[in-house]
Every structure is written in C-alpha cells, then in structure tokens.
Amino acid sequence: MKIVIIGGVAGGMSAATRLRRLRESADIVVLERGDHVSFANCGLPYYVGGVIPKRESLLLQTPESLAARFRLDVRVRHEVVALDTERRTVTARELDSGREYTEPYDELVLSTGAAAVVPPLPGAERALVLRDVADVDRLVEAAADARSAVVVGAGFIGVEMTENLVRKGISTTVVERGAQVLAPLDVEMAAPVADEMRDRGIRLELGAELTRIDGDTVTLSDGSVVPADLVVMAIGVRPESALARAAGLAIGPSGGILVDDRLRTSAPHVYAVGDVVEKKDAVAGESTLVPLANAANRQGRLVADVIAGLPVSDPPAQGTAIVGVFDLTAAMTGWSEKRLRAAGRPFRAIHTHPLDHAGYYPGAVAMSVKLLVDPETDAILGAQAVGGEGVDKRIDVLATAMAGGIPASRLMDLELAYAPQFGSAKDPVNMLGYIADNLRTGAVGTVQWHELADAIATGAHLVDVRSPEEFAAGSIPGARNIPLDELRARASEIPAGPVLVFCQVGQRGNSATRLLTQLGRDAVNLDGGYQTWRTAAPILTTRLIKPLFT
Amino acid sequence: MKIVIIGGVAGGMSAATRLRRLRESADIVVLERGDHVSFANCGLPYYVGGVIPKRESLLLQTPESLAARFRLDVRVRHEVVALDTERRTVTARELDSGREYTEPYDELVLSTGAAAVVPPLPGAERALVLRDVADVDRLVEAAADARSAVVVGAGFIGVEMTENLVRKGISTTVVERGAQVLAPLDVEMAAPVADEMRDRGIRLELGAELTRIDGDTVTLSDGSVVPADLVVMAIGVRPESALARAAGLAIGPSGGILVDDRLRTSAPHVYAVGDVVEKKDAVAGESTLVPLANAANRQGRLVADVIAGLPVSDPPAQGTAIVGVFDLTAAMTGWSEKRLRAAGRPFRAIHTHPLDHAGYYPGAVAMSVKLLVDPETDAILGAQAVGGEGVDKRIDVLATAMAGGIPASRLMDLELAYAPQFGSAKDPVNMLGYIADNLRTGAVGTVQWHELADAIATGAHLVDVRSPEEFAAGSIPGARNIPLDELRARASEIPAGPVLVFCQVGQRGNSATRLLTQLGRDAVNLDGGYQTWRTAAPILTTRLIKPLFT
C-alpha cells in the first residue's frame, strides 16, 4: 500500500507517524511545500518575542529524523500542483529545480492547512504574515530594526503577535475592523483583554480598517496615518483548498474541503484533515472551520486509523481555544452569545466573577466566567473565561463537561480537587452549576447587563445591596443602596413595582432576590452584578455593538 | 417550620443559608459545639505555617453576620447531648453555663463532622490535632517554642501539617504506619512526594508506629527515640456519630450515619450531611467515608433543597482530592490500583510522564499521571497525578470526564484549551486516551513495573530503545540498548522469544512495540517506561509493599 500525504505539519505528520505504527510495510510519502515539517506553529509568535529564545526549538522533526524513526519518505520544498483522482496520482513540483513528476497513490491524505488572508491593498506586498518558519524568519528580521508596528486583526494570532512585538520594545497599533478584540468571545468578556492591551501601551483602533500601506506608515479608513515600520496581517486564515477544488472535490460553504465523519472527501481514496477541512460543529451540527493545531493532530491520527480500517469516527468540534495576553488569559469553548443570537437560538447567559482559589489563601485573583445554557435541555452550549491563574483549568473542565453531556445545573455536583491554593470548596465551575440550577428551577430570575436600561424604563426599581462603602465608590445611576444585611428590615422602603437587585458579582444579589421574592416582591437579579455591568455597559454605546442587543 | 441544624461549619452552614434563601419564614437554629462557625478548616495548616498570616482570615462568618444576613439563630458553644426522634427534640447544653435545654424541631440536620483519631498511647494527652480554630490556636502556641516536631500520619492533613511546621523552621519527623505517604494514592505515585519531603529535610519513618509520648520525645515501635517538642496526630478522622448512634439511627459499616440519596437518616425528619455520613461510592456503589470540605458544602445545599421539597438527589462520590507538598502537587479521583486490587476488580493501569505544557515553550515541567480503566467497559475507574503546575487541571478534567461517563479511550477526543504555555497539542489527558485506545484495541500490550521481574524470569528479552546516552546514564539490569531509530535495521539482533521494550516514559516504547509486533515478534511495552520503573521498583523490596503485588 502506498500512501501519499500532502502537507507535513500537524495533521499530515500525525497521520504519517500513526500510519507507520499501524502499517510497517506501507510506503508513506509526505510532500511538503515549505522548508520544514512538523514545526511548532503555535510557538512562532513567542519566538518573535524572544520568549522562545532558540529557533531550533521550533523544529520538532526533520525529514532525516522522520526517515530514521518512522521510515517516512518526507520531501520538503515539493509542492503538489495537480491531483488526478481517477488515475490516483498527484503531480509534484520540486521547488528548487522546477522539476515536475507524477506520484501515484493508493490512499491520499490532504493536509494542506490554511493560508493567512492578505487583502489586496495598495502596499500589501509589505505586509508580513505568520504561518510557517519562513514567515517567522522574515518577521524576526523585520522586527530587529522596527520601532513601530501595526498588527491588522485582533484575533487570537493578532493578539499573540502584538504581545510579542511589545516585548521587543516595538510601539504597536492594532487595527481591528470589529468593535472588540478576540471576536470569538462575547464583547463583555473581551473587554478586559482590550483594557490590558491598552494598559501595556498598545494603541487599539477598533472599528477601523487599513486603506493603504506605505513605506513606514499605514493609512486607516478614517484617514489617520499610523507609523508602521512593520505590518503584520492577522485578519484570519482561508483553507488551502485550491488543489482539492481544481480536482473536483466537494467544497463546503466556508471554502474548506467537505469530509464525512471518517474524513473521506467526495473522491474515493482521498481523505483530508486539519485546517483545510470543514468540521461538524458540536452545538448545531453545521459545517464550520476550526483552524486549531490540536484538532489537526487529532484528525491526523484518526485518518490513519480510518485508512488502516479501524472502526473510528471524527467527533464534532467544540472549538476550545485559549490565548495569553500579558498577565491575562482568555479562553472559550462551544458557542458564544453572539453566535447563538445570530443563529436565533434560545439560550440563558450566566456571568460570574469568582476567585481562582480560596479568598483566605494568599494570591487569589478574580476571573470572569460566562456560561451559555440551552433553556430547554439544560445543555451547556458554550463557556468563556478571562482572568489570570486558573482560567485554563475552568475552560478545560467546562469543555469536558460539555463533551460528556453533563447538564449545566449538574456542574454543581462535579467533584473537583479542592485545597485552598488550588480552588474553592465551591469551585467556580460548581458555582456556575448552582446559578444554572437556580435559573432552571425558577428560584431566581436574572436580567442581563444589556437589558438593564429596558428594565428601568419599564419602571423597575434599582437596588444596590452592596455595602455603603461599595456604593459610594461607584454604582449604577438611579440605584438606591440598601445593604443586603439591612434588606429584610428595610424592604418596605422600595416602592411598589418590580425590583432589580444587584451587588458586586451577583452572589449577594441572589440572596437579596430570594428574600424579596419570598416577601412577595417581583424581584430579579442583575446577572454578574455591578462588575459585569461596569465592564460591559460602556460598550453598549459603541455603534458597532449596539445593533447586536437591540 | 422550625429547622435545627447541629454543626455550623461546612455542611451545616451551607444547609442553613440555602434554607433561608428557600424558606424566608422558617425558624432556623444552628447549634455549634465549638467557638466558631463557618471557618476555613482547609486553611488551618497554612495559618500554622504563616502562609495565611492573619487569624481573622480563617473566620469567614460569625453568628452576628449570619443573623444579619440570613436571620439565622446561631448558637456557638452549645453542644447537643441528646436527640429524641420520637418527640422531635434535641437536648442542648450551653457549655459556658452548663445549662441544658430542650429544643424542638420539625426537621433536623446532623452535620456533626468527624473528629481526629487519637490512639490511647502513654502521653497521648500531649498530642495535638487540627480540626478547628481552638486546635489551631493550641498548635500555633506550641509551635512558637518548638524546635522539633513529630507528625503521626502521612495522609493529606499530616503532609500539609508537616510542610507548615517545616516552614516555621521546626525539625520534623513523620511517623507513618503504612509503607508510603498519602495512602489514598498508589505507592509509585506517592513515592515522589516522599522524596520531596526528604529533600526538604523531613525525616520519614515509614512502617513505624508510636509506642509512647514523653516530655520532649516520642518512642517508635522499633525502640528509637525521636525529639518532639510538639506532637501532631493526623492518623485520620472518625465520624462524630455518637449522638446519632445513641438516638438509634442506623450507622453504616464505617461508623458513619447511613443516609439515602436524599440524605435522610433512618429516623423521619432527621437528615445528615458531610463528614459524619457514609456516602455512596461512584465506582462500586458501596458505602464509604469521604471527609472532604467540598462534598460537605454540596450536601449542605442539597439537604436544604430536600427539606424544601425540591426533587434532588445526592450523586455518588468520587473522592477527588489534592494536596500541595512544597513545590509538588499530588491529586487523585476515583479508585486507586490498590483499592481495585483489594476489591478483586479487574482494571488496566496506564502510567505516563507528560510535560505540563509544550516542551518548546520555556518552563515546561514533567508530571506523572496514572489512569485506571475498566477493561470490560472502558470506563474510567480512577486517576492520579503528581508533579508541579497543571496537576490540578488534569485531575479536574479527568474527574469531570469520569462524572460524565466519558470512556477512557475517548479522552483522546477531548478538545482542551491549547496554547504552548498552557498545554500541548496532544494534552496529557488526550495522551491517556491514546494509550487507553491502544490497549483497548490490542494495538499495543503493556507490562506493569511490578510485572517486569516475572516477565524476565519467563524469558522475555529486555530492550531499551532510548539513546545510547540515556542508556549509559542508567537502565534496567539485563537490558540491551537498541535505539528506536535503529530498531528497524537491528531487530534481528534480539534473540527469538518474547520481547519487553522500554524507553524513558513509554512513548518511544509504544512505537518500538508496534514495529516489533508488525515484524512478527511477540513484543510488549513497559508501561510508563524507565521513569515509572525507576520510581517504583525500589519500593518493591519493601516488606510492606511486596505482598500487594505478589
């Protein structure tokens, strides 16, 4: 059996090595257009910033090491230019010599990845991207002399690039067409990341686009000119599906190769994995792009099993992702609120701001966590978290709970490892479960930060149940202060009509809401409390955000 | 409705506050024998060590704060001395005055906790324990002058106490009857913790018992005398079920109060929660003690829901637990191998030694992870991990996967948050899934560290597939070195017969085993590689451990 694999990074190389472990006798050829295989693509920004000091750390394998260990025929700088699925051959071009040759296959795996999108702007040829080792070499060279940089796109890679340019002492501006950084997150969850970036001296130009790139500046859509010795394009990636398309393979709605749950394309004996394929979404089952290294690795191993005849299938994708931004971490799994809204799908949102570990143990820091729940089934639809220590843990636990079909309200039952330096007796994840359970059973109703204005407009009385000191330090306009501990005695001070209660993070508000409800009042709690509101409310005035919530 | 709660710490106070949120009109009386309610019991050792500098940090609530916020009638230093389930009354004694009085109830919650076990040794009156604030005050006072200490018991609390005494500069000896520290863990997983303790200058006396306590020494079972200005008993806890027993309530096989899945005792209108009850085990459904603060909190909230008539039930207990030991963390969930062996339950064990995050990103440290799998159903039976950063995360993910019924081999599908500072493209949890899948499908067979001697005795050839440098630095006696990259060419050097392959952690061994198997050899891989063997094998010679594995 002869297997040809096109693309020798995450998905392709996982497929090749697993295939060797399953089929010692197979001929396995890996054709890689670039100079390197199996490099650490997620480490590239950190090499630019000097966090990873040595270039060789990025190069995990070489064609020689792969030949020795796995008897793989790995050919770098060989680009596949044509695919004939009838004759089962590919045409490869040796880039150094220009020689073209035909390589037959019994089974073919496409792992061609995705390319950075570079819009056709004047001066676009000066824009750098960051997908492979050649890119990083160009970037490191350009960064050596640069005093200013513009990063276009504030997605995960744009944010990582920005952090690392700032580490090199380069004055950096981020230009993002959307109204927020980290578009996969919801706006109120991304806001702390934007604040952190601004605190580090980064200029954020949200709702802005580039119109041209000149010698050492760029021009934005509002006409302003920004210094830019260096321009990095990080507005997104596009599946490298041209070869597949030219060969007549079915392409999905997002431009990726269509595969079934055994990673088979529309052509017999042709499989595809990684960033180039459309994956089945875990929430809605729709076809979606999830360009993540871990997903590519997983699919690479899986396609080897499929080719070897094992009874496996590719599970749907949640799209769990994480990014470090200086001292902050932001992470998510599943769907965001905005995605649910855009799809017209009903949901409940929960915000909370727990400490990463017990407050009485030194060093506890707050994080913000958001959970999205299906109101019919109690299923977890998605989760987001932003903060310091422990954000990665909570998103991993929530991603696992989602994968395991644990209902949102049962998160309260999870037995998570507790000692005061690691968590709380009621872990942030358990707290989400308690809140979800209160919502599910109707024990407490909540109002979202963006619903507050409407609630007040319809006559709700706003009651801040925090301490007088907290109230004095800043509250929501129009609120009266009745501290929770006095509420039982002073409830009659609240005029007749609906009551909207809030505290700092939602927990005292929950007790207050239960108390008022039991006193016969029509009371609801502000979800996530003053903290969510304070983070999010200013954003509501942004022209690009407002339509989402009205 | 009048509800009386006996015990005002984790379970009792969670019950009281949740009851108030559900039943504003109820009379809720909390009777607490000690001086304090709702204190941070898991923080006590760290206050001794000065990590938590202020005593008031431990006191989360007071009777006054609970009265103000939740209208609770909290009475400290009131001990309940009798319970009449017929008349629905308790008899309480006011400890300061000696006055006794009868308190009627409609519903009663027993949250009396567990007491530290102190064996009846000569001099036992000098032994201190650590369960409440009064205990910690005594310990802090005694530690102020102490230069030497003996901690009896190397369980979770004993180890935490030891660490904190060492922090105070006190020369500390740990006396443990068993052959290992942290008995809930398996011996090879606990061994690094013992090493860490010895590295910190702690004297470990394993397989030893105290025979007497004198003025400033203790005497061990072998006759040796150890300096001990301070003696701490941490050999375990016993449910404080005497009151319940005297009242005729059903008591379980381990001495805890028997409750059903709605936390009802055998007497109508009497409930029990927390350390005093026997919980239903998640693996085998048997009755078991799980004295953990987070479980007590959860049950406290749950019993309030039960009393309020909500349709809830108490899920079985996995017993997830964690402990920090200087720079190490050890954690577990579910059953250990020794518990499975003792129960005669079939299992597969998997050992691996992954890095906490991508090796190419600075600061990666190795951890050891063990997974126990049901060979019939592929269910996760338990997991253990020891290492630095990221141990808590992996155990929480595994505990969640176990709770969600995710089969061991499907751990490979979990989409965990990956960026190089947080994990690996193939996370340690995914790797466990890959290994479990290889075992499940029979792709690779493994041998455990304690089975190695038998395998060699029956004629297996031992092949170390690591590099010559690694081999030269130390290998398993009798092994021949054929580096993995040369194995394909040199396989014929291995004499006929079964082959036992190993590498450093198991991964190269896996590839080597697949290669040899496909070359027609009868090959198996040493699970966890040289690293598990090197950690564990010396222990096999210990008289107390050997019987477990023979």
Select from B60, B301, B360, B412 the residue whose CB has the most chain A CBs within 10 Å, as the one to mutate to test that interface.
Answer: B360
User: Average per-residue pLDDT in chain B?
Assistant: 96
The 8-class DSSP code of residue A345 comes to: -
The answer to the question of residue B312 being in a domain is no
Distance from CA of B527 to the nearest CA of A (A): 17
What is the Cα–Cα distance from B205 to B207, expressed in whole angstroms?
7
A245 Cβ under 8 Å from any chain B Cβ: no
The answer to the question of residue A321 being in a domain is no
Helices (H), A288-364: 293-307, 337-342
For residues B128 and B221, state if they share a domain: yes
What's the Cα-to-Cα distance from B425 to each of A88, A315, B363, B412, rounded to whole Å? Answer: 32, 17, 16, 11
CB of B53 closer than 8 Å to CB of B340? no
Distance from CA of B421 to the nearest CA of A (A): 8
Among the listed residues B314, B244, B251, B306, the one whose alpha carbon sits nearest the alpha carbon of residue B278: B251
CATH of the domain at A20: 3.50.50.60
Task: Measure CB to CB from residue B293 to each of A57, A298, A425 and give the nearest one.
Answer: A425
Distance from CA of A214 to the nearest CA of B (A): 33
Distance from CA of B325 to the nearest CA of A (A): 11
The answer to whether the CB atoms of B361 and A43 lie below 8 A apart is yes
Give pLDDT, residue B544. 67
Q: Which of B197, B214, B235 is the last residue of a domain?
A: B235
Nearest residue of B to residue A45, measured between CA atoms: B420
- Mapped onto helix, strand or coil, the DSSP state of residue B202 is coil
* Count of H-run helices and E-run strands, chain B: 17, 29
Nearest residue of B to residue A408, measured between CA atoms: B404
The answer to the question of residue A267 being in a domain is yes
Nearest residue of A to residue B314, measured between CA atoms: A413
Phi-psi region of B508 (alpha: psi -120 to 50; beta: other; left: phi over 0): alpha
For residues B26 and B173, state if they share a domain: no
The answer to whether the CB atoms of A426 and B40 lie below 8 A apart is no
The answer to whether the CB atoms of A295 and B52 lie below 8 A apart is no
Residue ranges of chain B whose pLDDT lies below 70: 543-544, 547-548, 550
B434 Cβ under 8 Å from any chain A Cβ: yes
Select from A57, A261, A396, A517 the residue whose CB has the most chain B CBs within 10 Å, as the one to mutate to test that interface.
Answer: A396
For residues A220 and A244, state if they share a domain: no
Residues 6+ apart with CB under 8 A from A224: none
A354 Cβ under 8 Å from any chain B Cβ: no
CATH of the domain at A501: 3.40.250.10
Q: What is the dihedral of CA A399, A238, A196, A177, to 10 degrees?
A: -130
For residues A107 and A246, state if they share a domain: yes
Distance from CA of A91 to the nearest CA of B (A): 31
For residues B269 and B336, state if they share a domain: no
With beta carbons under 8 A apart, name residues in chain A contacting B486. 68
Which of A22, A23, A42, A168 is an active site residue?
Answer: A42
Distance from CA of B215 to the nearest CA of A (A): 34
For residues A248 and A333, state if they share a domain: no
Render pLDDT for B474-524 as a digit per residue (tens, 0 to 9): 999 999 999 999 999 999 999 999 999 999 999 999 999 999 999 999 999
Would the pTM of this model clear 0.95, i.e. be above it? yes
Render pLDDT for A253-304 as a digit per residue (tens, 0 to 9): 999 999 999 999 999 999 999 999 999 999 999 999 999 999 999 999 999 9
Owning domain of residue A466: 446-549
Q: How far from chain centre, in Å, is Cα B548?
A: 20
What is the Cα–Cα distance from B83 to B105, expressed in whole angstroms?
10
For residues B338 and B285, state if they share a domain: no
CB of A73 closer than 8 Å to CB of A67? yes
Task: Measure CB to CB from residue B397 to each of A319, A329, A396 and give the nearest one.
Answer: A396
Q: What is the dihedral of CA B434, B438, B444, B449, to 10 degrees?
A: 60
- For A294, the token pair is 């871990």
For residues B354 and B248, state if they share a domain: no
Residue entry with tokens 């903060």: A387
Give pLDDT, residue A541. 74
Select from B333, B400, B514 the residue whose CB has the most chain A CBs within 10 Å, as the one to mutate to test that interface.
Answer: B400
Q: Which residues of A19-55 are buried (b: 16+ CB within 10 A; e: fewer)?
A: bbbbbbebebbbbbbbebbbbbbbbbbbbbbebbeee
Give the residue numbers of B marked as catalytic: 42
The answer to the question of residue A312 being in a domain is no
Per the structure, the count of domains in chain B is: 4
**DSSP 3-state helix, strand, coil percentages of chain A (rounded to 5)?**
35, 25, 40
Give pLDDT, residue B550. 59
Residue ranges of chain A whose pLDDT lies below 70: 543-544, 547-548, 550
- Mapped onto helix, strand or coil, the DSSP state of residue B273 is coil
Give pLDDT, residue A550. 60
The answer to the question of residue A322 being in a domain is no
For residues B101 and B143, state if they share a domain: no
Give pLDDT, residue B509. 98
Phi/psi at A393 (5° precision): -65, -45
The answer to the question of residue A396 being in a domain is yes
Interface of A with B in 19-58 (CB under 8 A): 21-25, 40, 42-43, 46, 51-53, 57-58
B309 Cβ under 8 Å from any chain A Cβ: no
The answer to the question of residue A316 being in a domain is no
For residues B452 and B526, state if they share a domain: yes
Interface of B with A in 168-207 (CB under 8 A): none
- Mapped onto helix, strand or coil, the DSSP state of residue A318 is coil
Residue entry with tokens 């750098």: A128
With beta carbons under 8 A apart, name residues in chain B contacting A58. 360
Select from A156, A280, A415 the residue whose CB has the most chain B CBs within 10 Å, as the one to mutate to test that interface.
Answer: A415
The answer to whether the CB atoms of A57 and B324 lie below 8 A apart is no
Helices (H), B248-371: 293-307, 337-342
The answer to whether the CB atoms of B22 and A514 lie below 8 A apart is yes
The answer to whether the CB atoms of B416 and A310 lie below 8 A apart is no
CB of A379 closer than 8 Å to CB of A440? no
Give pLDDT, residue A508. 97
Give pLDDT, residue B541. 74
- Position B336: which residue type? S
Distance from CA of A248 to the nearest CA of B (A): 31
B61 Cβ under 8 Å from any chain A Cβ: no
For residues A180 and A32, state if they share a domain: no
The answer to the question of residue A319 being in a domain is no
What is the Cα–Cα distance from A341 to B297, expressed in whole angstroms?
36
Size of interface A-B (CB pairs under 8 A): 246
Q: Which of A215, A235, A255 is the last residue of a domain?
A: A235
Give pLDDT, residue B543. 67
Q: Which of A381, A408, A441 is the last residue of a domain?
A: A441
Distance from CA of B261 to the nearest CA of A (A): 13
Nearest residue of B to residue A282, measured between CA atoms: B415
The answer to whether the CB atoms of A21 and B69 lie below 8 A apart is no
For residues B337 and B280, state if they share a domain: no
With beta carbons under 8 A apart, name residues in chain B contacting A418. 42, 292-294, 320-322
Cα angle for residues B409, A306, B351 (degrees, 5° grid)? 25
B363 Cβ under 8 Å from any chain A Cβ: no
Cα angle for residues A88, A93, A99 (degrees, 5° grid)? 115
Residues 6+ apart with CB under 8 A from B183: B154, B155, B190
A167 Cβ under 8 Å from any chain B Cβ: no
With beta carbons under 8 A apart, name residues in chain B contacting A430. 294, 298
